[in-house]
Structure 1
Amino acid sequence: MPTQLREGPWHIGNLIEGDIFTAHVKSTQDLRCTRVTFYPVLFSRYREGASDGIVSFFHAAPVNVSVFRKPSDATIAVIMVFPWFTALLVCLTWNAQSSTQSRILGIFGHIGKSHFYVFEPLLKALAAKGHNITVISYFPQKKILPNYTDIDLHGSVTTLEPTGGVTFEDITGGSNFGTARMVVDLGAQDCERVYSHPSIMKLIHSEEKFDLVINELFNTDCYLGIADRLKSPHIALSSHALVPWANDRFGNPDNPAYIPNLFLLLSNRMDFFERFQNTLTLLYHKIIYYYISDPKVIPIFKKYLVNSSPLEELKKNTSLILVNSHFSLNQPRPLVPTVIEVGGIHFQQPKNLPVDLDKFISEAKHGVVYFSMGSMIRAETFPEEKRRAFLEAFSELPQRVLWKWEGDELPDKPDNVLTQKWMPQFDILCHPNIRAYIGHGGLLGTLEAASRGVPMIGIPMFGDQFNNMKSMADTGMGLVLQYKDITKNNVREALRAVLENP
């Protein structure tokens, strides 16, 4: 029987392996050549189905199905020698392609620092490969990088500062419905402020050309007008699992019977009431985005981009989206080919810890608990009773505790607790002496904890944090501690659960 080959795309090593094709030739009387797509001198797809086959490598266009007689020994010899010839062509082509530089524009109009943390390593890597990268954001590089140009948006936002933060009072007491409405309203408000920024005005009235535009798909699509004005293809990035309004443009399934909403504390195994809740929430989110947010954005298009294409058309012209999620954590779901999971894309090689942190962690006989509420929530705004609940629970631990505390001093701090205003989170989680992680359930932190095998206690506060922590709990990588349930006993029991049964 001939060797069975799975459907491509294939790597070059699989495609030109002489023995594989010889096995086909020797064992098949009638050989069929199926449709082939070439890229650029290699074909990238070979379908093995009802018939066996070999492929003529010398065609420069797709080949229709046809029947060949069994080849002669001379043909077999050519097939055996051909891999060396192809390898030479590939080497020459690869060198030619590597010298090609693209001009890429990144547009990131959201003020959330954690969002930009996801995109920044990709942008830097593209610049390091020789591409010319221009980045519109609130987070310019502190040091000049080759091939990397910043357009700084500072000054365009009046409601929130990107480097500030929020308090627990700001985000408690709201509902998931209110959170989603706040998110899209913020996107619509910031849209005109960004377009009216002098640097953006200069860009959209210039004759600059870009080979690609990359934008974040989050709370507004208004920045797609810039890609349309520049006549550039565009792709999207998402720093978290897909928002409810992202699926339609790609034709991606979002069946609420088994795909939990990003903003809900639900798994993919729901009872009837949970499916009903999930369905209503999905419909609500789409309604506020399509019928409240978009109508606010369209007049901005007409004001700053007179001849822009319709917004709905620009959405559907998004070529693909890279999503910072992974089925092992965010639960498996069907995805069309244009939706690509790249969970952990922000991971980098762990660095050596500062001397004081390394000493504190390494010398902890019973290990260390790491506590951080992320880049936006300021820990010193914990209400008094909840702050004391943590302190009293920590004081009874044999473990040491690292607490990201943005205030000047933590009152009544136990001897086993060390606070700092900023900590290198991923580097800390990579240390083998970290025993547990307490956080708010943001996707960056949950991915980092899962990748390092650190059990987590999640205190979800808003957005996707509920869904992230539900996924962590369902996969046995953590547990959920609701904010309203924070007491000394509950904190102590949660710590005991993850420390004694990690």
Structure 2
Amino acid sequence: MVFPWFTALLVCLTWNAQSSTQSRILGIFGHIGKSHFFVFEPLLKALAAKGHNITVISYFPQKKILPNYTDIDLHGSVTTLEPTGGVTFEDITGGSNFGTARMVVDLGAQDCERVYSHPSIMKLIHSEEKFDLVINELFNTDCYLGIADRLKSPHIALSSHALVPWANDRFGNPDNPAYIPNLFLLLSNRMDFFERFQNTLTLLYHKIIYYYISDPKVIPIFKKYLVNSSPLEELKRNTSLILVNTHFSLNQPRPLVPTVIEVGGIHFQQPKNLPVDLDKFISEAKHGVVYFSMGSMIRAETFPEEKRRAFLEAFSELPQRVLWKWEGDELPDKPDNVLTQKWMPQFDILCHPNIRAYIGHGGLLGTLEAASRGVPMIGIPMFGDQFNNMKSMAETGMGLVLQYKDITKNNVREALRAVLENPSYQENAKRVSRAFNDRPLSPLDTAVYWTEYVIRHRGAPHMRTAAVDMPWYQYLLLDVIAVLSIGACAILYISYLTLATVYNLILRTTSKTKTQ
């Protein structure tokens, strides 16, 4: 009697193993920003490690051959931009969130043309290859959805940051500007009238930019390479789900439909041992260490002289040591308590128990890393989502915001004194860390589960909310409000006529009585 049960179990296990290894997944990452790709690279590797066959279109091929992982390298399609290049402070200061949004969508059209014109992509489009799933980033263009349509594959989206304003509609996800701050604004979820007014106008502006400026640029490119493709709006609404690199413990709570999955911290790796020199510098610091990095895009050596000197003079008065990610060959007038390096293993550094504070530009990756390790922050937001990230961080009480325009020796010194000497920042950072890490599954395991869920359920259409298919006026109940308004006006008008009639009758009766 045991043998049939054993055989059945063996058949089931074999079938499950085959269904896993036979899944073919195509990842499309047409944006040249390395940090965007870096967020979801662990997901691609984890899926490959589970036996899925992964093909990845990007500017960042693997340096070593990985089992079940195939790269389609986009290098050669970029002539004027380098995917690993940095920018200066002069490049990004003085801009506005309106200009940032316009720049983002303009880059989307450029990315689209470069990807579709690449010989390897043309070959893929016209091949007979089949994929069980297509994964792409939802950032500055939707043109890659045409590839999923051509391959007749379900697709899921990825977001390396909080949802962009044009992402919510396709999932029917609430995006009420009364309490959900725009990605590009320095606002909390508790706004006064003028902040809500600004937030509403910014949300409308960004949606208009995307739908009426970006899409008209992308659609001709889309149609040029993909004849007889489905309408772009239809492809957007057919997105099965989105994995978002946020977490409510840090990024402020908001309502999410089932197709929006938070996986904040998906890029985390197991901490590694620090290089000997860094470990010695940090471990031997009697008063701890302040870590200072402006991220991978902004070159710290381009700090204007007065800003650089403000930091140096403030650092020189600290009892703590300072680690400064400085891309230049040397830092003039560097104090003895400051160590600079062109590159540093940021997450491994933040994992060290002797790190007392982190000064950063507010990129979401570093902010999530600080939150996970309970490290207080001083945020200096420069562009894009960094303003929203830093406002969210400050609202938790684990740090504060120092505007770039306000950088002076005194302001830097006072900000450092606050986070280093006021115990509330450390306590709040630890509280956020506990909430951030308290999950049933790790961010990466959560992402893997939902990716495979969509494959198992062939696009998971049962997760799609009815709001996706509703016209905007129905979604906003404008038709109901119109009927109620007309009804209320009709009732008021009838009441007015009734009262006027009664009043006139009373006047006539009174007049007759007086006459008699």
- The yes-or-no answer on 1:193 pairing with 2:105 is no
Evaluate the alpha carbon distance shift between residue 355 and residue 232 of structure 1 in structure 2; reply closer, same or farther with a 3 A threshold.
same
Evaluate the alpha carbon distance shift between residue 311 and residue 435 of structure 1 in structure 2; reply closer, same or farther with a 3 A threshold.
same
Give the whole-Å Cα distance in 2 for the aligned partners of 1:115 and 1:196: 22
Evaluate the alpha carbon distance shift between residue 467 and residue 206 of structure 1 in structure 2; reply closer, same or farther with a 3 A threshold.
same
**Larger displacement relative to structure 2 (136-145 or 85-94):** 85-94
Using the TM superposition, give the Cα deviation of residue 155 of structure 1 relative to its aligned residue in structure 2, in angstroms: 2.5
Evaluate the alpha carbon distance shift between residue 84 and residue 469 of structure 1 in structure 2; reply closer, same or farther with a 3 A threshold.
farther
Tell me if the contact between 1:458 and 1:479 (Cα under 8 Å) persists in the aligned partners.
Answer: yes
Give the whole-Å Cα distance in 2 for the aligned partners of 1:83 and 1:324: 46
> Which whole-Å deviations, capped at 9, do the CAs of 1:84-130 have from their partners, x for residues lacking one?
99996997478546753311100011111111111100001111111
Give the whole-Å Cα distance in 2 for the aligned partners of 1:307 and 1:300: 13
Evaluate the alpha carbon distance shift between residue 352 and residue 87 of structure 1 in structure 2; reply closer, same or farther with a 3 A threshold.
farther
Give the whole-Å Cα distance in 2 for the aligned partners of 1:210 and 1:94: 19
Using the TM superposition, give the Cα deviation of residue 160 of structure 1 relative to its aligned residue in structure 2, in angstroms: 2.4
Give the whole-Å Cα distance in 1 for the aligned partners of 2:12 and 2:152: 33
Using the TM superposition, give the Cα deviation of residue 157 of structure 1 relative to its aligned residue in structure 2, in angstroms: 2.5
Evaluate the alpha carbon distance shift between residue 94 and residue 452 of structure 1 in structure 2; reply closer, same or farther with a 3 A threshold.
farther
Tell me if the contact between 1:263 and 1:467 (Cα under 8 Å) persists in the aligned partners.
Answer: yes
Tell me if the contact between 1:140 and 1:152 (Cα under 8 Å) persists in the aligned partners.
Answer: yes
Instruction: Provide the secondary structure at the position in 1 that maps to 2:187.
Output: coil
Evaluate the alpha carbon distance shift between residue 397 and residue 81 of structure 1 in structure 2; reply closer, same or farther with a 3 A threshold.
farther
Tell me if the contact between 2:184 and 2:387 (Cα under 8 Å) persists in the aligned partners.
Answer: yes
Evaluate the alpha carbon distance shift between residue 164 and residue 291 of structure 1 in structure 2; reply closer, same or farther with a 3 A threshold.
same
Instruction: Provide the secondary structure at the position in 2 that maps to 1:419.
Output: strand
TM-score normalized with structure 1 length: 0.81
Show the counterpart of 1:253: 174
Using the TM superposition, give the Cα deviation of residue 150 of structure 1 relative to its aligned residue in structure 2, in angstroms: 1.0
Tell me if the contact between 2:285 and 2:320 (Cα under 8 Å) persists in the aligned partners.
Answer: yes
> Which whole-Å deviations, capped at 9, do the CAs of 1:403-434 have from their partners, x for residues lacking one?
11111111111111111111110000000000
> Which whole-Å deviations, capped at 9, do the CAs of 1:410-466 have from their partners, x for residues lacking one?
111111111111111000000000000000001101110011000000000011100
Using the TM superposition, give the Cα deviation of residue 255 of structure 1 relative to its aligned residue in structure 2, in angstroms: 0.5
> Which whole-Å deviations, capped at 9, do the CAs of 1:41-76 have from their partners, x for residues lacking one?
xxxxxxxxxxxxxxxxxxxxxxxxxxxxxxxxxxxx
Tell me if the contact between 2:21 and 2:50 (Cα under 8 Å) persists in the aligned partners.
Answer: no
For residue 287 of structure 1, the aligned residue among 182, 187, 208 is: 208
Show the counterpart of 1:269: 190
Instruction: Provide the secondary structure at the position in 1 that maps to 2:21.
Output: coil
Evaluate the alpha carbon distance shift between residue 359 and residue 306 of structure 1 in structure 2; reply closer, same or farther with a 3 A threshold.
same
The list of structure 1 runs, each at least 4 consecutive aligned residues, that deviate by more than 6 angstroms after superposition, is: 80-91
Larger-Rg structure? 2
Paired residues, what number? 423
Query: 1:7-406 alignment to 2 at 5 Å?
Result: 92=13, 96=17, 100-406=21-327
> Which whole-Å deviations, capped at 9, do the CAs of 1:189-247 have from their partners, x for residues lacking one?
22111111111111111111111100000000011111111111100000011000000
Evaluate the alpha carbon distance shift between residue 81 and residue 262 of structure 1 in structure 2; reply closer, same or farther with a 3 A threshold.
farther
- The yes-or-no answer on 1:418 pairing with 2:368 is no
Give the whole-Å Cα distance in 2 for the aligned partners of 1:171 and 1:401: 25
Instruction: Provide the secondary structure at the position in 2 that maps to 1:319.
Output: coil
Give the whole-Å Cα distance in 2 for the aligned partners of 1:430 and 1:496: 22
Tell me if the contact between 1:361 and 1:368 (Cα under 8 Å) persists in the aligned partners.
Answer: yes
Tell me if the contact between 1:157 and 1:190 (Cα under 8 Å) persists in the aligned partners.
Answer: no
Show the counterpart of 1:17: none
> Which whole-Å deviations, capped at 9, do the CAs of 1:337-373 have from their partners, x for residues lacking one?
0001011111111011111111111111111000000
Instruction: Provide the secondary structure at the position in 2 that maps to 1:104.
Output: strand
Tell me if the contact between 2:20 and 2:52 (Cα under 8 Å) persists in the aligned partners.
Answer: no
Evaluate the alpha carbon distance shift between residue 107 and residue 405 of structure 1 in structure 2; reply closer, same or farther with a 3 A threshold.
same
Evaluate the alpha carbon distance shift between residue 129 and residue 96 of structure 1 in structure 2; reply closer, same or farther with a 3 A threshold.
closer
> Which whole-Å deviations, capped at 9, do the CAs of 1:138-161 have from their partners, x for residues lacking one?
111111111111111122233421
Evaluate the alpha carbon distance shift between residue 83 and residue 237 of structure 1 in structure 2; reply closer, same or farther with a 3 A threshold.
farther
> Which whole-Å deviations, capped at 9, do the CAs of 1:132-191 have from their partners, x for residues lacking one?
111111111111111111111122233421111111011000001101110111111221
Give the whole-Å Cα distance in 1 for the aligned partners of 2:223 and 2:395: 47
Give the whole-Å Cα distance in 1 for the aligned partners of 2:188 and 2:5: 51
Give the whole-Å Cα distance in 1 for the aligned partners of 2:263 and 2:11: 27
Evaluate the alpha carbon distance shift between residue 374 and residue 386 of structure 1 in structure 2; reply closer, same or farther with a 3 A threshold.
same
Tell me if the contact between 2:359 and 2:378 (Cα under 8 Å) persists in the aligned partners.
Answer: yes
Give the whole-Å Cα distance in 1 for the aligned partners of 2:95 and 2:167: 24
Evaluate the alpha carbon distance shift between residue 389 and residue 226 of structure 1 in structure 2; reply closer, same or farther with a 3 A threshold.
same
Evaluate the alpha carbon distance shift between residue 325 and residue 365 of structure 1 in structure 2; reply closer, same or farther with a 3 A threshold.
same
Using the TM superposition, give the Cα deviation of residue 500 of structure 1 relative to its aligned residue in structure 2, in angstroms: 0.7
Evaluate the alpha carbon distance shift between residue 205 and residue 489 of structure 1 in structure 2; reply closer, same or farther with a 3 A threshold.
same
Tell me if the contact between 2:20 and 2:50 (Cα under 8 Å) persists in the aligned partners.
Answer: no
Tell me if the contact between 1:215 and 1:235 (Cα under 8 Å) persists in the aligned partners.
Answer: yes
Evaluate the alpha carbon distance shift between residue 270 and residue 202 of structure 1 in structure 2; reply closer, same or farther with a 3 A threshold.
same
Give the whole-Å Cα distance in 1 for the aligned partners of 2:288 and 2:257: 43
Instruction: Provide the secondary structure at the position in 2 that maps to 1:423.
Output: coil
Evaluate the alpha carbon distance shift between residue 413 and residue 86 of structure 1 in structure 2; reply closer, same or farther with a 3 A threshold.
farther
Give the whole-Å Cα distance in 2 for the aligned partners of 1:499 and 1:106: 43
RMSD between aligned alpha carbons? Answer: 2.4
Evaluate the alpha carbon distance shift between residue 86 and residue 284 of structure 1 in structure 2; reply closer, same or farther with a 3 A threshold.
farther
Tell me if the contact between 2:58 and 2:73 (Cα under 8 Å) persists in the aligned partners.
Answer: yes
Evaluate the alpha carbon distance shift between residue 274 and residue 84 of structure 1 in structure 2; reply closer, same or farther with a 3 A threshold.
farther
Give the whole-Å Cα distance in 2 for the aligned partners of 1:86 and 1:253: 49
Give the whole-Å Cα distance in 2 for the aligned partners of 1:105 and 1:185: 25
Tell me if the contact between 2:149 and 2:235 (Cα under 8 Å) persists in the aligned partners.
Answer: yes
Instruction: Provide the secondary structure at the position in 2 that maps to 1:352.
Output: coil
Stretches of structure 2 that go unaligned for 5 or more consecutive residues are 424-516
Tell me if the contact between 2:362 and 2:387 (Cα under 8 Å) persists in the aligned partners.
Answer: yes
**Structure with the higher helix share, 1 or 2:** 2
Q: Percent identity?
A: 99
Evaluate the alpha carbon distance shift between residue 417 and residue 86 of structure 1 in structure 2; reply closer, same or farther with a 3 A threshold.
farther
Evaluate the alpha carbon distance shift between residue 204 and residue 477 of structure 1 in structure 2; reply closer, same or farther with a 3 A threshold.
same
Give the whole-Å Cα distance in 1 for the aligned partners of 2:255 and 2:400: 26
Tell me if the contact between 2:243 and 2:262 (Cα under 8 Å) persists in the aligned partners.
Answer: yes
